[in-house]
Structures are given as structure tokens and as C-alpha cells.
Chain A
Amino acid sequence: KQEVTQIPAALSVPEGENLVLNCSFTDSAIYNLQWFRQDPGKGLTSLLLIQSSQREQTSGRLNASLDKSSGRSTLYIAASQPGDSATYLCAAHNQAGTALIFGKGTTLSVSS
């Protein structure tokens, strides 16, 4: 059974810092992995989708990597801004046609 863990649970950084959010999963036979952002009281916004055949994806200041052999994914945020403050969720998709399995998220606070 797939389990997804995110570390740390919370992170506070000053504006401008580069930071890394970690995600680990127990079953390396994943179909794809998706990172989401969730603002308080809101739904989930997709940030990056990494297919099982890919090693990384980039979008603006965000870069997500995937290492299936070690069961890990990282989300790198460059030059953090107060607007990046939110909860970041990692979700693993085990097999085509099955549902996403989520971690508990990392709550990021960026101070100006």
C-alpha cells in the first residue's frame, strides 16, 4: 500500500531564500507524481506533474525532481516571496486509472 510522507510539516523562511520541500513514497512503481499548492480555505492548484519516465519538471521559480529508485521527490522554490506562503501537497499516482495518494503537506510561511 502506497504511503506518502512530507517533511518538514512546517517551514518559515525570510523572503528571498531558496528552499526545498521533501516528499517520500513507499512504492517506487509510480505512474506519475503531482505537486499541488493549497491556500487557506481553498481548493488545490496543480503546480507540477512529473511522469514516471521523467526526472524533473520546471515552471518559473519552481523545480520538481523525481527519483523513483529512492522513493523521493523534491520541490525547489527559488527566491521565495511572501506570496508563496501556502501549504504544498505531494501526491503519488500508483497505477494508471487509480487515485492519487497524498501526503499531509508542508505549510510554508515566507516573511517579508
Chain B
Amino acid sequence: EAGVAQSPRYKIIEKRQSVAFWCNPISGHATLYWYQQILGQGPKLLIQFQNNGVVDDSQLPKDRFSAERLKGVDSTLKIQPAKLEDSAVYLCASSSWKGKNGYTFGSGTRLTVV
């Protein structure tokens, strides 16, 4: 089966600019996750979708971050305006219902804010 696709792979922007990341999960996976991984840290959940509904966005900085999953398939994560501390790798993952068979991660997008 095809894996989780993410784009772009790398992005460099200036602070206060906006940026968007795209994710296409494994076909048939109902649950999609966005994680933020700061250098030297483990990934931290930003938002979890079940089909096209939000299950958990408690750690999403909603004043600058937004995410959507239209039609329960692809998802977009946006940052506006970006801050220096947003420099990180943004990972998308998907799982089948309730994650019984584990998670599959994409290659991530490395964001550098200068």
C-alpha cells in the first residue's frame, strides 16, 4: 500500500509570514494526526481528525495554527503568522479506526523560520 504523503519536504520562511503543509493519508485510514517535532524532542500532537471531524486539538495554538480535513481524506495545516519557535518538523500520520494496527507516519516537512 502507498504510504502517507506529505509536501513540501522543506520550507524556509521569514517570521510573520504564512505557510501551509499538505498530507494525504493511507487510503481507508479514518484517523489523521498532525505532530510537531522540535529538534531533540519527541513528536507532540497538534491535532487529531476522525474522518473530517476534530477529535483533539487541545495542544494546537489556535491563535496562529489552523487545520482542516475536507471530505475526510487530505489535510492541510496552516501557520499564520509564523514565529521563530515554530521551526520544527511537522509530521502527519494516519491509522485505521482506533489505531489498533498502529500508526504510519509520513516523511515530514522541515520548517525553518528566520
* Pairs A-B, 8 closest by C-beta atoms: A102-B42, A96-B98, A44-B105, A43-B107, A49-B102, A99-B45, A43-B108, A97-B98
B103 interface residue per 8 A CB criterion: yes
Contacts between chains A and B (CB distance < 8 A), count: 68
Subset of 13 A-B contacts with CB under 8 Å: A4-B42, A31-B99, A34-B102, A41-B110, A43-B107, A44-B91, A91-B103, A99-B56, A100-B103, A102-B42, A102-B43, A104-B41, A104-B42
Residues in B neighbouring A98, C-beta threshold 8 A: 48, 55-56, 99
A96-B50 Cα distance, complex, nearest whole Å: 12
A42 interface residue per 8 A CB criterion: yes
Q: Verify A43–B41 contact, CB threshold 8 A.
A: no
Which residues from 53 to 112 on chain A have a C-beta closer than 8 Å to any C-beta of chain B? Answer: 89, 91, 93, 96-105
- Interface size of A by CB at 8 A reads 26
A98-B91 Cα distance, complex, nearest whole Å: 17
Q: Verify A46–B108 contact, CB threshold 8 A.
A: no
B104 interface residue per 8 A CB criterion: yes
A22 interface residue per 8 A CB criterion: no
